[in-house]
Amino acid sequence: MDQVMALVTNAPSGGAISRRVTITGEPGDILLKPLYTGICGTDRGIIAGKLPFAYNPVGYDFLVLGHESICSVVESDVSGFKAGDLVVPMVRRPGKCLNCAAGRQDNCSDGDKHEAGITGKHGFMREQFRESSRYVVRVGDSSLSRTGVLTEPTKNVMKLFEVFSVISGRSIYPTPDYSFQGKHAWIIGTGSEGFLFSFMAREQGFDTFMTNRHSVDEGRLGIMDQFGINFVDYSRDFDTAVKDIDLLIDTSGDPTTILRFTQRVRQNGIVFLFGTNGRAPDGAMSGVMVDHLVEKNITIAGSVDGAKRHYEQAVSYISKWTHEHPRAMSALITNEEPASSVDPFKRGNSNGIKTIISWK
Amino acid sequence: MDQVMALVTNAPSGGAISRRVTITGEPGDILLKPLYTGICGTDRGIIAGKLPFAYNPVGYDFLVLGHESICSVVESDVSGFKAGDLVVPMVRRPGKCLNCAAGRQDNCSDGDKHEAGITGKHGFMREQFRESSRYVVRVGDSSLSRTGVLTEPTKNVMKLFEVFSVISGRSIYPTPDYSFQGKHAWIIGTGSEGFLFSFMAREQGFDTFMTNRHSVDEGRLGIMDQFGINFVDYSRDFDTAVKDIDLLIDTSGDPTTILRFTQRVRQNGIVFLFGTNGRAPDGAMSGVMVDHLVEKNITIAGSVDGAKRHYEQAVSYISKWTHEHPRAMSALITNEEPASSVDPFKRGNSNGIKTIISWK
Amino acid sequence: MDQVMALVTNAPSGGAISRRVTITGEPGDILLKPLYTGICGTDRGIIAGKLPFAYNPVGYDFLVLGHESICSVVESDVSGFKAGDLVVPMVRRPGKCLNCAAGRQDNCSDGDKHEAGITGKHGFMREQFRESSRYVVRVGDSSLSRTGVLTEPTKNVMKLFEVFSVISGRSIYPTPDYSFQGKHAWIIGTGSEGFLFSFMAREQGFDTFMTNRHSVDEGRLGIMDQFGINFVDYSRDFDTAVKDIDLLIDTSGDPTTILRFTQRVRQNGIVFLFGTNGRAPDGAMSGVMVDHLVEKNITIAGSVDGAKRHYEQAVSYISKWTHEHPRAMSALITNEEPASSVDPFKRGNSNGIKTIISWK
Amino acid sequence: MDQVMALVTNAPSGGAISRRVTITGEPGDILLKPLYTGICGTDRGIIAGKLPFAYNPVGYDFLVLGHESICSVVESDVSGFKAGDLVVPMVRRPGKCLNCAAGRQDNCSDGDKHEAGITGKHGFMREQFRESSRYVVRVGDSSLSRTGVLTEPTKNVMKLFEVFSVISGRSIYPTPDYSFQGKHAWIIGTGSEGFLFSFMAREQGFDTFMTNRHSVDEGRLGIMDQFGINFVDYSRDFDTAVKDIDLLIDTSGDPTTILRFTQRVRQNGIVFLFGTNGRAPDGAMSGVMVDHLVEKNITIAGSVDGAKRHYEQAVSYISKWTHEHPRAMSALITNEEPASSVDPFKRGNSNGIKTIISWK
């Protein structure tokens, strides 16, 4: 393959530059070109050299960045795809365990998998790349050429709610109306992933609360308003406002915050851990907390990544949300940058929600 | 009803005395006489005045103790029971929530339930008492007139493993042989409940390890040996011996210990919290621990009590274990005391496994 | 309440007339006015006097028809609803069994439930009626004031696919990509319910086939085309075209057809029975068919009605489909009639898909 | 390997002779000697030449019979087994599909598996044979050296009840006591498999009925009595006795009988098809039957074979039953024949329950 422009780092040391690279021998029956790629906390962590588990592909002294993307098919050697089709490539590639054999590399049992743009596989922030169609998800709705970049973060949401439906089966979880109306979902964090979790909690019928330790800007409040989501600044209002939680989803990774909210989880409630922050200070887990978890049959569940069906469901819900709340979905993308610059990585997220890079 | 001898406390202040009591108006279509009652940590906590949630029944200034028992039917107003039948009365009685309506007061959604010998309902440590047959479980195997006293603690085990089978469905949990052989279950604590959890882990096929922070006596090692259970004194051997945990069951209630073992739980592993100790010192939950739970899809689940079917399953497994390992099952009962004395409550458990009181 | 115009029958004798009725004493905290009501086979069966299980409410010598509707709130005594809101009232009302107590009157264990417009409860084909808000489902999307009439038939679809997700857990059902792409769903029947089942099969990712014993008109083919559904006229093409079925959904109720297609169901496949036709001729079930079901672990599941959450999901998917395929969704409604006429009931469906009655 | 005496057939033509055979190249790290092998309807079908799907292993013009056995380890190349251990070899060996990869060859998705003594793999009716320890299940209880021969038929029971627990999750199935007491299980057929299904229904707490179209002998009634099972001769008593079925398990394979009993299945009931008889006359499936299945949410599920964990559970329950009801378990084995004779195959089962062959 010829040289292409790419945004690369040197994992796990970090850094980010835009330069021409030549990558040969990648398997694939389909040639893709990104339209947009998204930047998330993992990308910023890699560039800052803070994620020691990141590593370059074998035989390379660099790693092409990027695992969130919406792409266009350039050419395809397989039926079912044709030039111009919108698609999203999957991040994680299977190892040899049984979960991986069943397409569940998100549940990989032995850690023997790879992640594009993170661990041993080049990512999607490059002009074009070959890909195996097995790991490419169709986006049938042509109006998703921009918001479709949210597919990858949304697949995490779909997997988490699948796990929710499994775990909630341990007791009678819905209301006596067999509904989630009147049940309370709380989402800690007001980044893009927090919004996507909240949208899905609304879809399930939960009374839904986003929360953070500070107030949020009008843009965020506007999005919440369109989806019928409440906001609580818990630095002001914890004691009176935070209560009766049936479903808690954390995107902060902060143990102290997680434990504080978990105290307010009701009988048969479920706490999901999604956010990670290995450098967060310790939280104090008390004997009373253990008692609370036991006596009320509360479950805490870590959940990472998602499988192909979760990508497909993500596409479906992004399509739904984009049609129903076009302004809110558009407002999730607060920054769009050209592919020529590495500034957005360095700048941090400041107060934006999602920064994307245009490759068009 | 006439006066009967009973072991009573004054909840939540505590204390324990043997005295004659008159209790009137208890609903019930069946008259029971305990053969044996068991003493557990909850009983000791109530007597020590350490469990503030305990309370006397309405209209009484005392609480009859006891929630573990094997009883004999004295007389029955309903078909299906006759004098001399072995039975076990249930501890928890339903409130008005939907889980209670479905017979799942162990999953009570609003806390509106009662527990015999603990919260607002007289217990079973008395010469005889009336009971509603709805809350009475048959023990068909007449050889269980003594080990049947373990039914109540064993129903916790059956409920927990039911929850295990629900939660483990979130990924492919068994080995590629669709077996649990080669999967590792660790049980923290070497009291009677720890043994019962371990027996069931063996039934499921797990390589099973009991562990404590000290060595254990020959009696315990003998029981473990008969059931094929390993023992690890983790005060000596944590770093090399404790690893690759797929199922962790805690009976200690100690946050520091729970978190320490949770670090060694593998991908898709499940941690069950059963033991409680509200006065245990705080454990430090790190950001790295949150990361571990997330990236490996680990679940932590509190589990308390059990429903009628779990009592029935408990009877079935105690029957099985009593036939297959009669010496081990008998050895679980290390102390038998007469009903006339309140000494066993005061003495504490010293080094015994299960203390029972004979009412024969 | 004052007199209102209504479409009524005399169950189970049948007939249909438009006349003024006075109905008093219906419980309800909310007053509704239908915008549209839909006609289905059950309505036609009642009118023809062919459904012996239909009966008038106690104290009435008539039954107001209608269980499919999209309504507007006229006035509400409860918060959460206000005049002008779009809503859909539920058909089935709970009896006293445990499934009913859990909001699952669709799974009523003892038959002690009522159905609006069918069994002992007046239906929705009247100018206005009081309703209990507990049985009223919100339609947040104001663009559904017409296609929302499909909510009631679509809730059957949502319940059936919930049962599918339960039953398919008996083996590893998805492809090794953890997807349903490449799995084959077949839907027997090309009426409105057949289309709604097919739309959901497409949402799940199935390669989807609608089939009938005759060819279908251009209108139907156009709808299928927009949703990516294939059509097979099985009277011409059974032997070569019908094969490798993983999910079969019948809307015909015809035993012979069901059994014929079931022969082509693959290992671990699931057959859903939804359509009913008590007067259909017998089908011959062979010993070879039993062998086929056993050796291939095939499941056949009857499924009727749905619960409140299924109505909510139905609203959500109708919203999605109405935005994504507005022409197709509109084309499902082939006839719109004024409320003043009972002709549409008498005419039969001829070749249309869904006939609705306008109450505006 | 040297010559060994074996009972062989020529599949699918049939016949049965006892002769010396030399079988080379079978993979295996463990050498087994059968103590007893069991004869079932499949064996008789093969010998009669009635099972066209049976075939000889590649390179052989004969097939060693036998898939039910209890064996003793002669020598082992792997740890975990030693000479003298009791074991049961599994029947079915995996193909290449995902279910097979997960140890679920009982749910093989493409038919690409082998069965010892039936399809392309030599069976266990020979003096000794090499086996892969992966397909060998330990029998820890030394008292099962005879009744352990029932492990293979019992593993079918364990798998079926696992499927039951999955499917019954589609509604609230237990009583409001969360128990199966008062729920009715009916088992069609009074052969050994019928008994084993009935024993497990009793374990689950069902009121359990075995039924056949004729009366049964005292031996059978005695076994039923010990397990608390009722018997109904449905040729005399169908209309009054057969009703309110919640769980129906068929071992007859006869469509007419299956459909007749299915008419009496209640709401949310489950029908399991286990028996097969490809030559049974057709049964008439009416439109009313389809209506019954739909309106009452009834499920019919075929179920075949079982996985390694089901063998392990089978060993566990046979141990339990053998200790609790030793006479009943022993009475299931009505005929014991020497390995030197092929008469038992030819004789048919006459009125016995299970015929076994002694290899000691």
Residue that is written with structure tokens 């008996």 in the block: C170
Q: If you measure CA to CA, which chain D residue comes closest to C246?
A: D109
Q: Is C348's pLDDT higher than 70?
A: no
Q: CB distance from D308 to chain B under 8 Å?
A: yes
- Tokens 């039914």 correspond to what residue? B151
Are residue D196 and residue D294 in the same domain, yes or no?
Answer: yes
The distance of C303 to chain D (nearest Cα, Å) reads: 5
Query: Looking at beta carbons, which residues of chain C come within 8 Å of A205?
Result: 309, 312
B312 at D interface, C-beta within 8 A: yes
Nearest residue in D to C178, CA atom: D98
Structural domain containing residue D24: 8-138+330-358
Residue B5 · residue B18 · CB < 8 Å: yes
Copy the structure tokens of residue B314. 């408990």
The mean pLDDT value of chain C amounts to 95
Q: Report residue B142 as tokens.
A: 């007449």
Share of chain C above pLDDT 90, in %: 92
Residue C169 burial by Cβ neighbours in a 10 Å radius (0-12, 13-18, 19+)? middle
Best mutation site among C161, C172, C308, C318 for testing chain A: the one with the most A CBs within 10 Å? C308
Tell me the average pLDDT across C228-237.
96
Task: Tell me the C-alpha to C-alpha distance, in Å, between residue B270 and each of A297, A336, B298.
Answer: 14, 42, 6
Mean pLDDT of C237-260: 97
CB nearest C267 (choices: D108, D166, D296) = D108
pLDDT of amino acid A349: 59
Q: Are D103 and D113 in contact (CB under 8 A)?
A: no
What is the pairing mode between strands A299-302 and A265-273?
parallel
Domain shared by A109 and A212, yes or no: no
Asked whether residue B1 carries a pLDDT value surpassing 60, the answer given is no
Please indicate, yes or no, if residue B301 is contained in any of the structural domains.
no
Q: What tokens were used for A205?
A: 């019928």
| 3-state SS class at D180 | coil
C-beta neighbour count of C327 within 10 angstroms: 9
Residues of B in contact with C101 (CB under 8 A): 98, 101-102
Q: Which of residues B296, B326, B344 is at a domain's end?
A: B296
Give C175-193 pLDDT, tens digit per residue.
Answer: 999 999 999 999 999 999 9
**Max Cα-Cα span within chain A:** 62
Residues composing chain A: 360
Q: Using 50, 70 and 90 to split pLDDT, how confident is the model at D348?
A: low
- Shared domain check, B266 and B343: no
Q: CA–CA separation, A116 vs D338, rounded Å?
A: 65
Please report the pLDDT score of residue D149 as a whole number: 98
Ramachandran class of A224: left when φ > 0, alpha when ψ lies in -120 to 50, beta otherwise: alpha
**Nearest residue of A to residue B246, measured between CA atoms:** A109
Flag if A167 and B171 touch (Cβ within 8 Å): no
Q: Do D124 and D200 belong together in one domain?
A: no
C187 with C103, same domain: the answer is no
Percent of chain D with pLDDT over 90: 92
Q: How far C145 CA sits from the closest chain A CA (Å)?
A: 15
D173 vs D156: CA distance, rounded Å? 22
Say if the ipTM goes beyond 0.95.
Answer: yes
Half-sphere exposure of B348 (CA within 13 A, CB side): 3
SS (H, E, C) chain C: CCCEEEEEEECCCEEEEEEEECCCCCCCCEEEEEEEEEECHHHHHHHCCCCCCCECCCCCCCEECCCEEEEEEEEECCCCCCCCCEEEECCEECCCCHHHHCCCHHHCCCCCCEEECCEEECCCCECCEEECHHHEEECCCHHHCCHHHHHHHHHHHHHHHHHHHHHHHHCCCCCCCCCCECEEEEEECCCHHHHHHHHHHHHCCCEEEEEECCCCCHHHHHHHHHHCCEEEEHHHHHHHHCCCEEEEEECCCCHHHHHHHHCCEEEEEEEEECCCCCCCCCEEECHHHHHHHHHCCCEEEECCCCCHHHHHHHHHHHHHHHHHCHHHHHHCEEEEEECCCCHHHHHCCCCCCEEEEECC
- Single pTM value for the model: 0.97
Place of tokens 């439906």: A165
Over residues B179-184, mean pLDDT? 96
Exposed/middle/buried for B226, CB within 10 Å: 0-12, 13-18, 19+? middle
Whether residue C183 lies inside any domain: the answer is: yes
Chain D contacts of C302, Cβ < 8 Å? Answer: 290, 292-299
Question: Residue B191: which CATH number?
Answer: 3.40.50.720
**Any domain includes B324:** no
Cα(B344)–Cα(B342) distance, rounded to whole angstroms?
Answer: 6
- To the nearest whole Å, the CA of B98 is away from the closest chain C CA by 7
DSSP state of D57: P
Decide if B103 and D324 are in contact by the 8 Å CB cutoff. Answer: no
Domain termination site, one of D261, D284, D302: D302
- pLDDT for position A195: 98
Distance CA D131, CA A111 (A): 32
Residue A290 Cα to chain centre, angstroms:
30
Chain D residues within 8 A of A101 when measuring between CB atoms: 98, 101-102
Residue D130's pLDDT band (boundaries 50, 70, 90)?
Answer: very high
- Report the run of H or E that residue A35 belongs to, with start and end: strand A30-39
| Domain assignment present for D248 | yes
Distance of alpha carbon A264 from alpha carbon A285, whole angstroms = 14
Check whether residue B9 and residue B133 sit in a common domain.
yes
Do A197 and A91 fall within a single domain?
Answer: no
**D275 with D346, same domain?**
no
* Cα separations in angstroms, C236 against A89, A141, C281: 41, 34, 22
Percent of chain B scored above 70 by pLDDT?
98
CB contact under 8 A, B253 and A290: yes
User: Which residues in chain C (81-140) have CB-CB distances under 8 A to chain D?
Assistant: 98-99, 102, 104, 106-111
How many CB atoms within 10 Å of residue A83?
Answer: 11
Minimum-distance CB partner of B167 among A167, A273, A304? A167
Residue A306 resides in a domain: no
Cα C150 from Cα C39, distance rounded (Å): 10
Residue B221, domain member (yes or no): yes
Residue B145 shares a structural domain with residue B177: no
State how far residue C238 is from chain A, nearest Cα, in angstroms: 26
β-pair type (D92-93, C354-358): unpaired
Touching chains, C (3+ CB pairs < 8 A) = A, B, D
pLDDT in tens, B77-95: 999 899 999 999 999 999 9
Nearest to C118 by CA among C69, C41, C47, C54: C54
Round to whole Å and give the CA distance between C209 and C246: 11
Q: What is the pLDDT of residue B237?
A: 87
Q: What is the mean pLDDT of each run of 10 residues along chain A (360 residues)?
A: 90 95 92 97 92 94 97 95 97 96 96 90 97 96 96 98 98 97 97 98 97 97 98 95 97 98 98 96 98 98 98 97 95 93 69 92
Q: Please enumerate in sequence order all residues whose Cβ is within 8 A of that of D225, keeping only pairs 6 or more positions apart, or say none.
A: none
* A330 CB neighbour count, 10 Å cutoff: 13
A268-285 pLDDT tens trace = 999 999 999 999 999 999
Spatial contact of D177 and D152, defined as CB atoms under 8 Å apart: no
* pLDDT confidence band for C122 (50 / 70 / 90): very high
Band of pLDDT at residue B31, cut at 50, 70 and 90: very high
Q: Which two tokens stand for residue A7?
A: 């945004």
Q: What is the structure's pLDDT at D86?
A: 98
The count of domains in chain C is 2
What whole-number percentage of chain D has pLDDT above 70? 98
B210 and B133 belong to one structural domain: no
Cα nearest neighbour of B172 on chain C: C172
The overall average pLDDT reported for chain A is: 95
Q: How far is C274 from chain D (nearest CA, A)?
A: 6
Are the C-beta atoms of residues C120 and C53 closer than 8 Å to each other? Answer: no
In the chain, the amino acid numbered D177 is: D
Q: Nearest CA to CA, how far is C162 from chain D (Å)? A: 8
State pLDDT tens for residues B272-326.
Answer: 999 999 999 999 999 999 999 999 999 999 999 999 999 999 999 999 999 999 9
CB contacts < 8 A (A, D): 9
Return the number of other C-beta atoms located less than 10 Å from residue B274's C-beta.
25
Alpha-carbon distance values, D25 to A336, D1, D57, D87, D133 (Å): 66, 8, 12, 22, 16
Residues C72 and C124 in one domain: yes
Min Cα–Cα distance to chain B from D158, Å: 13
We report the CATH number of the domain holding residue A129 as 3.90.180.10
Does the beta carbon of B178 lie under 8 angstroms from any beta carbon of chain D? yes
Tell me the pairing of strands B63-64 and C129-131.
unpaired
In a domain, C145, yes or no: yes
* Cis, peptide link before residue B12, omega less than 30° from 0: yes
DSSP symbol at D39? E
Q: Which of B21-25, C271-275, D72-76 is predicted with the least confidence, judged by mean pLDDT?
A: B21-25
Q: Which residue of B has its CA nearest to C170?
A: B169
Query: Does residue C155 form part of some domain?
Result: no
| Of residues B145, B149, B144, the one with CA closest to residue B124 | B149
List C-alpha distances in Å: A208 to A184, A232, A238, D250. Answer: 6, 11, 16, 48
Q: Which residues of B touch A293 (CB under 8 A)?
A: 273, 300, 302
Q: Which residue of C has its CA nearest to D286?
A: C282
Q: Which residues of C touch D268 (CB under 8 A)?
A: 99, 107, 109
Indicate the residue among C248, C266, C296 that finishes a domain.
Answer: C296
- Helices and strands, counts by H and E, chain D: 11, 20
Looking at the structure, tell me whether residues C142 and C207 fall in a common domain: no
